[in-house]
A and B are shown apart, each in its own frame.
Chain A
Amino acid sequence: MSQERKKRWVMVVDPDKCIDCKACDVACKRENGMDAGTDQQVYRNWITSKGVEGTYPYLKERFEPSQCQHCQNPPCVKVCPTSASYQTEDGLVAIDYKRCIVCASCILACPYDARYKSPQTKVIDKCTFCAHRIAEGKLPACVDTCPTKVRVFGDLNDPNSEVARLLATRHYRVLKPEQGTKPSLFYLS
């Protein structure tokens, strides 16, 4: 019937590979023209330290990079009065900036702290999965830049994609599953 199969963009993250170099943070800000200045609150992705593991001398600090989860059941979209926040066909959660009244409901509804107010545009923003790059067939900036290849990005509806193969063969989890948000970020464990 339909020739064009619907895409489902997801990201598979291998947190064990993260060395906290913050290249993704820098790449994201440059790619998306974010000028944070001295504002510590302006970021689309972040690295969480999950503490030190093991016994001396075999110690290892674990990191967990994260960003907007592009939830399949996104609470931020549900609470947005003007439909500025919406879901695209291929599973992205996007913002139509001109519709945003900056009521901040979405910031409060998001269980992951993924949203912020842009100092440049003065409206709410967040990780877009670099939709403008995907459209050109490129990878998101944070995926592209990562020296240890922590993030793998692709179309889960394509059984031959690397993300589909990883999720078929490896154990994985999502963040805050109890929130029922159905994230599109999968963490290998």
Chain B
Amino acid sequence: MNTMTMNNKLINTRGDMIWALMAGALCLVGLAGLGNYLLQGHDAYNVYRQVPWGILISTYVFFAVCCTGLCLVSSLGHVFGFKNFEGIGKRAIAMAIIALVSGFVVIGLELGRPLALIYNLLSPNPSAPIWWMGTLYSIYLGVLLVEFTLMVRGMHKYVGYASLAGFIGGVAANSNLGSVFGLLDARPFWQGPFLPISIIVTAAISGCAIVILLMAHRYAREKMPEDIQRAVTATSKIFALLLGVLMFFEFWKVMSAIYGTVPGQYDAMMILLKGPLAFNYWGLEILLGMVVPFVLLMSSGGRSLGTAVVAAISTLIGLFFMRYNMVVAGQLVPLRAEVDAVGPSGLLSYTPSLTEIAITLGGFGLCLALYMAADRYFNLDEQGH
């Protein structure tokens, strides 16, 4: 296989070099953040009593959602029998594992005492959505590793079953992720049916976007095989369709929050619409995340790979901020107006600290580095049956 020669060395071309440098730089930044965290503990973060969840939680959610999304797209081949998609399955699953591991690392650094996680097993509390989150995503990681191993060993007979398990696990873990927020009754912004639905739709969107990027990178210097090309075109079309669905949801989410009567929901929505998070919301989440990629994909009909790549990058940036906005906006309406941290606007505020930003960037660096390593050590192209 021609890919064999390509995979022998980690760095073959200038392109690889740039990626490696980028991953290395991000990892270094992350290590600096880690160092500061080890020195100062949670004090190095800007989360506090009134806003205890910050960018590390939202970054974890982003990674976890991407993981599910990749699994959904890859299952199109092995579970739902769309032959063209079989060629992208292995690479997508590898990336799903890597994204989830990166997410675990980031959330591990958010937890004040990750070692006490042993009590997740010793004294489990199944009524806690966070308990389910930890448990389901851990099992899910196991399922993905099995699936990947079967793929690498070429045991195609069993890959279908493993993919099905992965698909079910992914959807279960993902809808539970919504409940981690949705069941916090004290925070009305996260309640309601929109969150789980929007999380699963955005999962599929991020899966499409990442698959497009992976394939564009893989075949940057050689001709894309026809089946892959067809799969990528189909992915771009699904991507555009889902963006349309997401915009529809977003519209009704906003409407129901501003016309609804749930106290706390209106105020939190206003933080996004015209408050401190307005730029993040309109500029990044809506424009970059939905409108720009939708217009790009529609205008190219999903046929131009270059356009799809730009759309994918744009969407992923938007989705990252969508998570951030969701996590932060849900906490900025104070439970007691007289606490010291409330500003003149009557709202709390949160800006990530340099350490939190560094760890976030490190998470992306780790993700990139692990992918480059996986690409080198495994043949991520699907072999024939």
Contacts and interface: CB of A to CB of B under 8 A. Distances in A.
Interface of A: 40-42, 46, 48-49, 75, 78-84, 98-105, 107-113, 115-117, 122-123, 179-180
B376 interface: no
Would you list the 9 A-B pairs with minimal beta carbon distance, nearest first? A102-B112, A82-B119, A81-B131, A104-B52, A41-B49, A111-B186, A83-B123, A99-B119, A81-B130
A46 B338 CA distance: 10
11 contacts: A40-B341, A78-B125, A79-B129, A79-B130, A80-B128, A82-B117, A98-B119, A102-B116, A104-B53, A108-B186, A117-B42
Nearest to B133: A81
Given A80-B128, A81-B128, A117-B42, A108 B119 contact: no
Contacts of B120: 81-82, 101
A95 B331 CA distance: 23
Contact of A109 (B131, B184, B340): B184
Given A75-B186, A84-B119, 17 more contacts: A41-B48, A48-B338, A75-B184, A75-B185, A79-B127, A79-B128, A79-B184, A99-B116, A102-B116, A104-B47, A105-B128, A105-B180, A107-B52, A108-B187, A111-B185, A113-B49, A113-B336
B153 interface: no
B185 A179 contact: yes
Contacts of A82: 116-117, 119-120, 122-125, 131
Interface in B248-280: none
Contact of A101 (B50, B114, B340): B114
Contacts of B113: 100-102, 122-123
Nearest to A119: B43
A111 B112 CA distance: 22
Contacts of B52: 104, 107-108, 117
B41 A122 contact: yes
B18 interface: no
Nearest to B134: A81
Interface string B372-385: 00000000000000
Contact of A110 (B42, B128, B186, B334): B186
Interface in B34-91: 41-42, 47-50, 52-53
B55 to A, nearest CB: 14
Contacts of A40: 340-341
A126 B334 CA distance: 18
Given A75-B185, A84-B119, A101-B119, A111 B335 contact: yes
Contacts of A99: 116, 119, 123
Contacts of A180: 185
Contacts, number: 121
Interface in B294-336: 331, 334-336
A48 B187 CA distance: 21
B335 A83 contact: no
Interface string B99-130: 00000000000011110110110111101111
Given A40-B340, A79-B128, A81-B128, A107 B112 contact: no
B289 to A, nearest CB: 25
A108 B125 CA distance: 17
Contacts of A46: 336
Given A41-B341, A99-B116, A117-B49, A108 B130 contact: no
Contact of B112 (A41, A113, A123): A123
Contacts of B131: 81-82
B224 interface: no
A105 B327 CA distance: 12
Contacts of B119: 82-84, 98-99, 101
Contacts of A81: 120, 124-125, 128, 130-131, 134
B183 interface: yes
A105 B130 contact: yes
A113 B339 contact: yes
B191 to A, nearest CB: 12
A98 B122 CA distance: 12
B172 to A, nearest CB: 17
A111 B125 CA distance: 20
A104 B112 CA distance: 9
B112 A101 contact: yes
Contacts of A42: 49
A100 B42 CA distance: 15
A103 B42 contact: no
B183 to A, nearest CB: 7
B112 A117 contact: yes
A58 B111 CA distance: 52
B46 to A, nearest CB: 12
A131 to B, nearest CB: 19
B23 to A, nearest CB: 29
B111 A103 contact: yes
Nearest to B53: A104
A14 B206 CA distance: 55
Nearest to B121: A82
Nearest to A66: B336
Contacts of B111: 101-103
